[in-house]
Amino acid sequence: STFKKPLPSLKRGTNNNMNLCRLLSIWTLAVGASAKGPLTDDADEGTPFKHFLAFNSNQTCASDSHAMPFNNQIRGVNLGGWMVLEPWITPSLFYQFLGGDETNTAMDHYSFCEVLGPEEGNKQLKRHWESWVTEDIIKELADSGAVNSLRVPVGDFMFEPYGPYIGCTDGALDYLDTLLDWAHAYGLSVLLDVHTQKDSQNGFDNSGQTQGFQWTSRISNYPRGLTTFQHWPIRAAHWIGDFDSEAVNYTNINHDNIAHSLRAIDHLVDRYSGHPAVLGVEPVNEPWELTPIEALKTFYWDAYLIVKKKAPYWKFIMHDSFRFTPETWGGFMKGCPDRALDTHIYQAWMDNPFILNTSVSRSIWQPSSRLNFYNNACAQKQQIALMEREFGPVIVGEWSLATDNCAMWLNGFNDNLPGFPRSPCKYIPCSLPYMGSDQPGTPVDPGAALQGPYGTGISGPSFGLCPVDRDWMTERYNSAESGSNWMSSPPEAPRGRDGTDEVMSLLALKKISAFSGIGHGFYFWNFRTDLYNPQWSYLLALERGWIPKGDLNDERIMNSCHREDVGAFVCEANREAPEETVKNGISYALGEEKKDSAYVVKLEGEPLYSEGDAVFDEFWKSHRATGATCDFGGAAQLKEANVTHTDEYYSDDYYNAVEVKEFATWKIVLLVVIGTLVGSLTGFALAMKLSPKFSRRVRSSTILRPVTRSTVFRQSFGNMLEPGLQGYAGISMD
């Protein structure tokens, strides 16, 4: 096997001018030999693979007529938190580290193995592997009728262990083998996603090792005894090279790490190339946006050739490195069969555009309304369609129904992004451990307040309660556009005011429509969560009815974005917003378009709001496909346009069913008074008819006699009196 050839020595930190592509192609020499010999830089004739020629010089291919087109429509879920630990997904594994210090706190997979050691770490991991993903769960996903594929995050360390992973992750591949057999038995394909890389490709805990991290307890001794750390202000990623956080660039390329990653992929392909359940591989998950793009593309190219040499029918999925643009990926690996681009689309971190308030020099941020979330979801199909045209097949490899950052530890163990979450979170009792009562640190102590160590943000259990996504409130009349009621409402909806089911159901339909109607499908993140958080759990979303079971190609889903697609909304100035807010919003929109905004300060009253109508709507419609929302710091809101809709499958329930008509106090009092008067008169008339004794007393009363003999009374109630009593009321029977 050509793989057995010794690798060349690639030194980390070299600063010479050797061509990067030439260095990385050395790996191709070792594993990509063709019938004519190994690939060389002079690849004008191309190197033959099954059904295509690979041109190393420009990283393109020429495929023949036997190449299989990528016609798969993926409807999948991620099995996250299983082979690669993420504290927010399985907090029961990490409760044991609450109250710890620098020496005994773990906050990712790497430190989990480092702190516990290989023996205890492996013991806990095996218990976790056995219980987090089971055959019953795989069967339930398959039986839903809406899932045909699984995306399984795996660690590079599973195929070539290093550091604290050695011994700690023993046996992981055996569990993965079993999972693949289950998937095949239930008719599901599996995309193997290499979720971690040595020294981290993005600095997140999901890369296996949080990078850009510093214990800060010694910097300040007040309050005394606290253990503190920082991560987000200094986040870094050193997989592909040494990152200079001050210059915000890479000083060199780490060829040792790249070679390690390619070897891990080769081991993965060797082990699973013959398994019928495997759809393909994703060689790296979420390399951050500062990754040198040419180095990343060369890594993708070399990994692609490794895969295609031994698994010619596998799909090869590449993450977009948070740069989902044709300028970055258009034409890359043109003509190469079975490749696709993966993009991750979340709304949990979605904000309204900030407005620089010139009077106080500060940025204003606030959550979005439901209509903004709906429009943003449907608008994604425009960018997906563009990338399908400029690059090729696109898969949304991760998405969820979350519209806030409330899920505990979503942004790291005992930490949070600065300024997040934007709104108060809902708290529920922390779950019992899914792996059994033997798990250390569980259950959470109901008598303990928020425990350390403490990051620069706050998230964690307190008095036995854990934060989860907040409820959506049913909006009061005329507030659905701005979402003002939801933003100011309590995180847990009062009885009778919970609109979460309606909002989530409609949002799910629109997202599924956008991701599958134009692109090549999706994988929902995640299949389950330890805490009760259905916005992140496919199984719980199915249970709540948010995501429909069965065929996801029905017309109800396909037409769920009808109103957004036909332009049935306009972005107008909010007439209830202060004029200064509207001016700031207009100035922001014009500034983003590099247009002069000096004239705005002179506008006031309706001319100001009318100008806002024009500016806001033009900006929103031009940029909604790339995530722009109609808010502008409270200066604008979506309004329904005067458009006739003919689609019989369109439903307006997302606007009407979630609104509650709210009456003013004076209206309520008036209704009570009118109801009392009508009830009294009706009761009087019935008594006159049904009780002769009461009628005679009324007739004989000197006070009521003028009333009973009045023309109005005789005309209104005469027919309700007994015939024998009509005469007493002065009513003739003739």
Distance CA 195, CA 206 (A): 7
β-pair partners for 154: 194
Residue 419 covered by a domain = no
Please tell me the least confidently modeled range out of 85-89, 231-235, 448-452.
Answer: 231-235
Whole-number Å distance between alpha carbons of 654 and 667: 27
pLDDT digits (tens, 9 = 90+) for 425-459: 999 999 999 999 999 999 999 999 999 999 999 99
Q: By percentage, how much of the chain surpasses pLDDT 70?
A: 78
Q: In this structure, is residue 281 part of a structural domain?
A: no
Highest-confidence segment of 602-616, 657-671, 682-696: 602-616
Burial call 301-311: b when 16+ CB within 10 Å, e when fewer? bbbbbbbbbbb
Residue 174 inside a domain? The answer is no
Give 93: exposed, middle or buried? Use CB within 10 Å, 0-12, 13-18, 19+: buried
Highest mean pLDDT among 29-43, 127-141, 572-586, 640-654: 127-141
The rounded distance, in Å, linking the Cα atoms of 535 and 400 is 6
Q: Place 1 in a pLDDT band, splitting at 50, 70 and 90.
A: very low
Spatial CA neighbour of 658 closest among 370, 418, 385, 435: 370
Q: Which pLDDT belongs to residue 58?
A: 95
Region 477-502 average pLDDT: 76
Instruction: Please check whether residue 577 lies inside any domain of the structure.
Output: yes
Q: What is the 3-state secondary structure (H, E, C) of 445-464?
A: CCCCCCCCCECCCCCCCECC
Do 575 and 638 fall within a single domain? yes
Question: Does some domain include residue 213?
Answer: no
The per-residue pLDDT for 661 is 44
State yes or no: pLDDT of 407 exceeds 50. yes
Rounded Cα distance, 498 and 520, in Å? 34
Residues paired with 468 in a beta bridge: 426
Residues 394/343, Cβ–Cβ less than 8 Å: yes
Q: Is the pLDDT of residue 545 over 90?
A: yes
| Helix, strand or coil, per DSSP, at residue 106 | coil
Q: Find the mean pLDDT for residues 360-380.
A: 73
Host domain of residue 52: 2-63
Q: What was the pLDDT predicted at 713?
A: 52
Whether 320 maps to a domain, the answer reads no
**Alpha-carbon span 388 to 669, nearest angstrom:** 60
How high is the pLDDT of residue 467?
97
Number of independent structural domains in the chain: 3
The mean per-residue pLDDT over the stretch 607-619 comes to 91
Clarify whether residues 573 and 634 are in a common domain.
yes
Question: Interior CA angle at 462 toward 458 and 468, to 5°?
Answer: 70
pLDDT tens digits, 120-158 = 999 999 999 999 999 999 999 999 999 999 999 999 999
Which has more pLDDT, 311 or 51? Answer: 311
Q: How confident is the model at residue 198 (pLDDT cuts 50, 70, 90)?
A: very high
Q: What is the pLDDT of residue 676?
A: 79
- The CA distance from 531 to 261, in Å, is 33
For 305-353, the pLDDT digits (tens) are: 999 999 999 999 999 999 999 999 999 999 999 999 999 999 998 865 4
pLDDT at residue 655, rounded to an integer: 40
d(CA 716, CA 185): 79
Express as a percent the part of the chain with pLDDT over 90: 57
Q: pLDDT tier at 697 (50, 70, 90 boundaries)?
A: confident
Same domain, 6 and 53: yes
Rounded CA separation 423/470 (Å) = 9
Specify the range with the lowest mean pLDDT, choosing from 182-191, 195-204, 419-428. Answer: 419-428
**What's the CA gap between 500 and 546, in Å, rounded?**
10
Q: Does residue 251 form part of some domain?
A: no
Residue 656 has pLDDT above 80, yes or no: no
Q: Give the relative orientation of helices 293-310 and 20-31 as an angle to the nearest 10 degrees.
A: 10
**Is residue 98 predicted with pLDDT exceeding 60?**
yes
Q: Is the confidence at residue 14, as pLDDT, over 50?
A: no
Final residue of a domain: which of 577, 609, 642? 642
The b/e string for 101-127 (b: 16+ C-beta within 10 A; e otherwise) is: eeeebbbbbbbbbbbbebeebbebbbb
546-565 pLDDT, tens digit each: 999 887 777 788 888 887 77
Q: Is residue 620 part of a domain?
A: yes
* Listed residues 63, 85, 100: the one ending a domain: 63
Rounded mean pLDDT, 686-702: 71
What number of CA atoms fall less than 13 Å from residue 708's CA on the CB side?
23
